[in-house]
Amino acid sequence: MTESNYDEIMMLLCDRLSSLTNSNVQITSETNLISQLSIDSIKLLNLIMEIEDTFDVSIPINALTDIQTVRELADLVHKIKSAS
């Protein structure tokens, strides 16, 4: 998987997160999903389903336990997509 795919993942995540949260927080790769965006667990689970469909991959929700920032989420999706 190439750099541009990674950027694509990052862009999609930032875009979806900002519409999910409607907050004024400027979303960057270091934004914390829970403490800064207050994403609740159900919204996060639904976002995962969307990402699965967009990139045609399976993302186990238990892999989310270690995820705090937008970058970590993008890394996870990128890793799974690259392996698929």
Minimum Å gap between C-beta 21 and other proteins is: 14
CA distances for 50 relative to 24, 54, 76, angstroms: 23, 6, 15
Enumerate residues 59-78 that contact other proteins by CB under 8 A: 59-63
- Measure the CA–CA gap between 82 and 76, rounded to whole angstroms: 10
Enumerate residues 17-56 that contact other proteins by CB under 8 A: 40-42, 45, 49, 52-53, 56
Binding flag, residue 4, other proteins (CB under 8 A): no
- Other Cβ atoms within 10 Å of 74 Cβ, number: 22
Which residues contact other proteins by CB under 8 A? 40-42, 45, 49, 52-53, 56-63
